[in-house]
């Protein structure tokens, strides 16, 4: 009798899934229950305590790694200090979905942002309040031609000349197409994960505007011939050429070759 009830309940759950909006549920983050009208900094503090403090410390002092993970599924918290990183870094890491990170040893990758706009603003304000740090940059229009020169010099080594991204040993240089102008400017100043950090002495704010202009322009660049082939240059183009040449060679063999007459 009980078994039948369980089966009925399971069938009902399958037939009538819980009503959801367009977005899947926000799993994996802690949303504190706060009264409407909670001050932004207060909300940010609560969100920080729930989602960030295990790796970045309760006061943003950072957590040094202690010991190795005890096995699969075990996560040892560790993370850099956040004092003085400012609104710039918080805005970048949260709006790209780089943070929160499932395991501290992995490279942060672009994921779905789980926080609402107000929660993001609250967290950014709270992290900025931890210490004196740079504000969120506001890129202005720049020169695409100058940006190409600078991008080739500073960025293309890893991100590839049309910003399609690439690989290093131990890291992935992500493609830059999904990044907003602000996020590109932020990443240059932060150097997320294994990326070098470029200060205003190496790349001035004016030069950064041009780099941003170039990255945004190259994303909309047309593909001559109609087929981008990843826009990665000679390697994929060579593979395509080999495929075409291979088919042509096989065709030649069919035309000129002959079978031995069957006895």
Partner 1 sequence: MRRPTPRADDLALLFLGLAALCAAGFVVAFALAVPHRTQLLGVALGLAFAFLAAACVVFDRRLLDTSEREELYPEPHVEEQEAVAEIVEEAGSGITRRRLLTMGGGVAAGSLGLALLAPALSLGRLFDTTPLLETPWRRGRRLVDGAGRPLRAADIERDAFYTAFPEGADRETLAAPVVVVRLDPASVRLPPERRGWAPQGILAYSKICTHAGCAIALYRKPTDPAIEPAPAFVCPCHYSTFDPATGGTVIFGPAGRPLPQLPLTIDRSGVLCAAGTFSGPVGPSWWGVRIWKARSR
Binding residues vs partner 1 (CB under 8 A): 62, 64-65, 78-80, 104-105, 153, 156-158, 166-171, 190-199, 201-202, 252, 256, 258, 261
CB of 16 to partner 1, least distance (A): 45
As given in the structure block, the two tokens for residue 127 are 């992290």
Only one residue has tokens 């940006």, namely: 147
Please tell me the distance from the alpha carbon of residue 210 to that of residue 139, in angstroms, as a whole number: 9
Max alpha carbon distance in the chain (Å)? Answer: 94
Q: Residue 34 or 105: which CB sits closer to partner 1? A: 105
125: left (phi over 0), alpha (psi -120 to 50) or beta: alpha
Shortest distance (Å) from residue 52 CB to partner 1: 14
Shortest Å distance, C-beta 73 to partner 1:
18
3-class DSSP assignment, residue 18: coil
Helix (H/G/I), strand (E/B), else coil: 39: coil
**Nearest distance in Å: CB 96, partner 1:** 14
Q: DSSP label at 107?
A: P
| Closest to partner 1 by CB, 69 or 239 | 69
Residue number with CB closer to partner 1 (56 or 216): 56
Q: Nearer to partner 1 by C-beta: 3 or 201? A: 201
């Amino acid at each position: 009798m009980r078994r039948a009830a369980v089966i009925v309940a399971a069938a009902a759950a399958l037939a009538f899934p819980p009503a959801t909006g367009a977005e899947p549920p926000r799993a994996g983050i802690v949303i504190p229950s706060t009264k409407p009208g909670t001050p932004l900094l207060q909300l940010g503090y609560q969100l920080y305590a729930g989602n960030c403090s295990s790796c970045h410390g309760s006061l943003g002092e950072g957590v040094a790694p202690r010991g190795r993970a005890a096995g699969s599924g075990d996560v040892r918290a560790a993370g850099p200090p956040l004092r003085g990183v400012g609104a710039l870094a918080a805005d970048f890491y949260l709006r790209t979905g780089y943070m929160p990170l499932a395991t501290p040893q992995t490279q942060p990758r672009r994921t779905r942002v789980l926080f609402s706009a107000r929660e993001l603003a609250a967290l950014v304000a709270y992290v900025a309040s931890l210490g004196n740090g740079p504000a969120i940059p506001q890129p202005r229009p720049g020169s695409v031609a100058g940006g190409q020169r600078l991008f080739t010099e500073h960025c293309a080594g890893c991100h590839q000349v049309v910003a399609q991204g690439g690989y290093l040993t131990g890291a992935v240089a992500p493609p830059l197409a999904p990044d907003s102008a602000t996020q590109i400017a932020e990443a240059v100043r932060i150097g997320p994960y294994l990326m070098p950090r470029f200060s205003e002495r190496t790349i001035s704010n004016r030069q950064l505007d041009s780099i941003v202009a170039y990255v945004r322009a190259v994303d909309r660049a047309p593909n001559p011939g109609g087929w981008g082939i990843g826009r990665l240059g000679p390697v994929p183009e060579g593979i395509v050429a080999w495929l075409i040449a291979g088919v042509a060679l096989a065709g030649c063999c069919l035309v000129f070759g002959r079978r031995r007459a069957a006895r």
